[in-house]
């Protein structure tokens, strides 16, 4: 039998062919253990960007990434498990109220979360704005917290899908991130490895989303649902709007504050709507339908789980969240009705103020971000505050002001609103 070589693997994909199972597993093992060079892996990734992958290839590729590390077994924790993943957006703090809400209804949520990059925020960055909260847990701590509290939000351990960690770092510096097969396999390999029995995907589309085009968002959703089902994980996806940011805040401590408002029975209507909608689908897939999550949100049960979840990971909610020393106000130049609030420039402004990072190793500010005081359909008057810019460094304000220049459109009458939930797949 012929020996597999990296040149054969690259050449097969470069010329439009489908990689064999042997080639895929050989490549994933070789790149993970360092025997395949970075430049050779880069060439293969670029070929995949241009040529794509067939469903069989993608299934094998994902399985090989899962097999590069351990796959957790959560069957003994005593509750059905279900997780949620969002492709990221502006003001997307949904995971914070959602995990304790679903746990309050009887399922367990083993959420391995990530950090923000560019204009999209990261769940771990938000949680780390809580004094003492820690993202890293051992497997024993992770499973114990799931058993006793029912919800965990934490960082993925190094032993879960290490091939994905290596490949993602390479994709990030070789302009090979924007490939649907590579995105789908990256997300799903970690979610499957964490051991959840069911998964709901929140795939954002619109100006503030990573996948701005609706058709590509649908393709990504279908691809990920297919991977999940082929790996024995009950999977569904929602395509949701990210032309308009969620809630009224973008920034780490600012979004934690807003999330707590939701858990206390208030908060922005769109955040509540999406949280409850996702919770119902998660409970459906988990086979838990005896509780309406709207009731568990309103009566304080979800808030109680949130407090216990945060405390279990060292968080002290009695310590006030960070407040920015510098706040710049942006006022309306004219009166009228807000027709458009563009998520992308708001996310970029929050990033420029210090809430986000350009590289994974960059620090972020807990207190930085943007607060907006009007949403599409709201009436505003000239001189009314539209935005608050929060930052630790005044030198960051001019760039954020420039980013917000076209973030809001005010006109004489409202435009037809876009639905928050566009489509369900699976």
| Cβ contact 153:111 at 8 Å | yes
* 1 has pLDDT over 50: no
Domain spans of the chain, in order of start: 6-52, 82-312, 326-411
The reported pLDDT for the residue numbered 289 is 80
Between CA 167 and CA 186 the distance in angstroms is: 9
User: How does strand 385-391 pair with strand 151-155?
Assistant: unpaired
Distance CA 30, CA 10 (A): 13
Residues 295-339 pLDDT 10s? 999 999 999 999 999 999 999 999 999 999 999 999 999 999 999
- What is the helix, strand, coil percentage profile of the chain, to 5? 45, 15, 40
Going by pLDDT thresholds of 50, 70 and 90, the confidence category of residue 357 is confident
Rounded CA gap, 369 and 348, in Å? 10
At residue 3 the predicted structure's pLDDT band, cuts being 50, 70 and 90, is confident
Proportion of the chain above pLDDT 70, given as a percent? 98
The SS3 call for residue 254 is helix
Which residues are designated catalytic?
A: 85, 164, 171, 186, 190
Residues 58 and 190: beta-carbon distance below 8 Å: no
Q: What is the CATH number of domain 326-411?
A: 3.90.1170.30
Q: Say what the pTM is.
A: 0.94
pLDDT tens for residues 165-199?
899 888 888 988 889 999 999 999 999 999 999 99
The fold of 6-52 is: 1.20.970
Q: What is the DSSP letter of 396?
A: G
Q: Residue 31 above 90 pLDDT?
A: yes
CB contact at 8 A, 85 and 202: yes
User: Topology of 82-312 in CATH?
Assistant: Pyrimidine Nucleoside Phosphorylase; Chain A, domain 2 (3.40.1030)
Is residue 250 within 8 A of residue 214, CB to CB? The reply is no
Q: Is the pLDDT of residue 352 over 50?
A: yes
% of the chain exceeding 90 in pLDDT: 87
Q: Per-residue pLDDT for 25 more than 60?
A: yes
* pLDDT exceeds 70 at position 364: yes
| Distance from C-alpha of 404 to C-alpha of 384, rounded to nearest angstrom | 16
- The side-by-side arrangement of strands in the sheet containing 408-411 is 379-380, 336-341, 408-411
How does pLDDT run across 33-85, given as a tens digit for each residue? Answer: 999 999 999 999 999 999 999 999 999 999 999 999 999 999 999 999 999 99
Instruction: Tell me the mean pLDDT in the region 101-116.
Output: 93
Run of H or E including 41: helix 38-51
């Amino acid at each position: 039998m012929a020996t597999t070589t990296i040149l054969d693997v690259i050449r097969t994909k470069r010329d439009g062919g489908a990689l064999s199972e042997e080639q895929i597993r050989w490549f994933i093992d070789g790149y993970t253990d360092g025997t395949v060079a970075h430049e050779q892996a880069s060439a293969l990734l670029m070929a995949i960007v241009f040529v794509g992958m067939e469903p069989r290839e993608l299934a094998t590729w994902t399985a090989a990434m899962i097999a590069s590390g351990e796959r957790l077994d959560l069957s003994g924790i005593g509750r059905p498990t279900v997780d949620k993943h969002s492709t990221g957006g502006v003001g997307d703090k949904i995971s914070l109220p959602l995990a304790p809400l679903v746990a309050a209804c009887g399922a367990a949520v083993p959420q391995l979360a990530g950090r923000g990059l560019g204009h999209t925020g990261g769940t771990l960055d938000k949680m780390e704005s809580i004094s003492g909260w820690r993202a890293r847990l051992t497997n024993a701590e992770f499973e114990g917290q799931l058993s006793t509290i029912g919800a965990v939000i934490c960082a993925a351990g190094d032993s879960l899908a290490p091939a994905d960690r290596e490949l993602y770092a390479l994709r990030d510096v070789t302009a090979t991130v924007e490939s649907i097969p590579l995105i789908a396999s990256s997300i799903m390999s970690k979610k499957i490895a964490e051991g959840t029995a069911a998964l709901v995907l929140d795939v954002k589309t619109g100006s503030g989303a990573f996948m701005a085009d609706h058709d590509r968002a649908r393709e990504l959703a279908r691809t990920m649902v297919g991977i999940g089902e082929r790996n024995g994980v009950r999977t569904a996806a929602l395509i949701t709007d990210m032309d308009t940011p969620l809630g009224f805040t973008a920034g780490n401590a600012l979004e934690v504050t807003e999330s707590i408002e939701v858990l206390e029975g208030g908060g922005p209507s769109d955040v509540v709507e999406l949280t409850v909608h996702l919770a119902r689908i998660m409970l459906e897939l988990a086979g838990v339908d005896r509780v309406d999550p709207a009731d568990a949100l309103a009566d304080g049960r979800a808030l109680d789980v949130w407090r216990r979840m945060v405390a279990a990971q060292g968080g002290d909610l009695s310590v006030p969240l960070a407040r920015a020393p510098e706040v710049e106000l942006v006022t309306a130049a004219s009166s009228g009705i807000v027709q458009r609030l563009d998520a992308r420039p708001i996310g970029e402004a929050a990033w420029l103020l210090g809430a986000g990072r350009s590289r994974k190793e960059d620090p972020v500010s807990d207190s930085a971000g943007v607060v907006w005081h009007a949403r599409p359909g709201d009436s505003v008057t000239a001189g009314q505050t539209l935005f608050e810019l929060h930052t630790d460094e005044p030198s960051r304000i001019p760039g954020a002001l420039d980013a917000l220049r076209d973030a809001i459109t005010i006109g004489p009458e409202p435009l037809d609103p876009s639905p928050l939930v566009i489509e369900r797949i699976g």
